[in-house]
Amino acid sequence: MSKLTEKKPIVLVSSYPPRLCGIATFAEEAREFIQKANPDRNVLVISHTDGKGKGVYPLIDNKKYLWWKPVAEKIKKLKPYVVHIQHEYGLYEYVDSRGIGDRNRGFLDLLSSISEFPIVVEPHTVHGRLKEYEEEFIFKLCESSDIVIFKNDYLKWRLNWTFTQKKWVLPKNIIIIRHGARPDIQWEKKDIPKLKRELGLNKVKYLSDHLVGLVGWIQANKRWDILTSMWEEISAEIKKRTGQNWDLLAGGILRDSAHIQDYEKYKEGLEILEKKGLAHYYEFIPRGKIYYKVMAVCDFIVLPTVDETQSGTLARIIALKKPFITTAPLEGLTAQTLESEGGLLFTNKEMLKEKVIRLACDEKLRDEFSENLKKYLKTVVSWEVIAHKYNEAYKLAREHKYKGVEINIPPEF
């Protein structure tokens, strides 16, 4: 038996590719770097029934009321070093024949059933203004876990405020670990023409050398129409000030058919701009290296989302050190924009217009933002840094579970 198989494995519980899901993609990247940081252990995955790959056990079928039982049974057989769970409500919600959901009761049952093992839970949906059932769920989640990971400090100090208003005590096992970003994706300016050829963008004859990107899954909350509705006016102003032609590159695809009307609206706006030679729609599935390549050919990225706590799109922007513009105030997006000093924020259409023009007209500012993002990536959000922090979380969880060491992580404020 090899040393790798002798050691207890790290078990991730999450949605997983080929599922078209942001958390699935997140888990795939996280697993890669957790494995690199733990070369002497297997990193295994328990996924939903559509997950695939080596070391992946597709067992979660939340159409069944007791979906969690086979998951718990498998975990007991694997005897893990630690169980690391990616949580989002929809991933574990059982809905009965009346259309009534269990509000993740089954998830809490899972935690209870595997309580003999160290448990680390990483919730991806924590908002500043929680609904009552979300407050109750997070409280019970923290009670049932050894360590709970929040993505940014704001969410923790806001939760402290929320709980103190109810005369509840903030759980002491919440730590902050940022959304990871790849440290190994890099192209120089001289590589951009080659990338454009690989993507076939060189065949779009009118497409200029300067591109503003709208990249990622197309859904209602991403609101591409905010920028497309003003792009003709914006590009004309940039041309007037700099003499340069700038075009809009919108790349992605519809993920959820429930958003088809918004998708069609966004496409319609882009088609009008395409006919005028001002934009191009590039359809692709935002996964893997192509996701990075489409972003890489852009001078900067606009992320006009209106509902996001933390974003895989922003993680890729940071990985490429691309200057960006995004919406505020939006919790994780705003926090990382301020922390990294790599982008600009807008709160209304006029501000967005001004910020896009400013960034397009100021190459020095773009270079400054890129340098800031380079430092932020290296020291704060690189997956290599994040995987190390995960290992620290695992150690805390194990010391609490097996040695009774008290976890007492103080509030930020």
* Confidence class for position 4, pLDDT limits 50, 70, 90: low
**Tens of pLDDT along 215-229?**
998 888 888 999 999
The residues, ordered by sequence, that sit 6+ positions from 117 with a Cβ below 8 Å of its Cβ are 75, 79, 80, 82, 83, 401
Of 24-38, 89-103, 238-252, 295-309, the range with the lowest mean pLDDT is 295-309
Structural contact between residues 144 and 110, judged by C-beta atoms closer than 8 angstroms: no
Strand partners, 215: 251
> pLDDT tens for residues 171-210?
999 999 999 999 999 898 899 999 999 999 999 999 999 9
Question: In the numeric block, which tokens belong to residue 160?
Answer: 């402290």
| For residue 1, pLDDT beyond 60 | no
Selection from 317, 365, 124 nearest residue 214 by Cα: 317
Closest by CA position to 309, among listed 130, 133, 128: 128
Residue 218's alpha-carbon distances to 251, 308, 310, 364, in angstroms, are 9, 14, 16, 31
Q: Are both 3-180+383-403 and 189-381 of the same fold?
A: yes
Burial of 256 (0-12, 13-18, 19+ CB in 10 A): middle
What average pLDDT does the segment 337-341 reach? Answer: 96
Domain ranges of the chain: 3-180+383-403, 189-381
Inter-residue contact 215 to 301 (CB < 8 Å): yes
CATH assignment, 3-180+383-403:
3.40.50.2000
CATH topology of domain 189-381: Rossmann fold (3.40.50)
Can you give the pLDDT at residue 310? 54
Global pTM reads 0.93
Contact between residue 276 and residue 228 where contact means Cβ atoms under 8 Å apart:
no
For 111-135, b where at least 16 C-beta lie within 10 A, e where not — what string? Answer: beebeebbbbbbbbebeeebeeebb
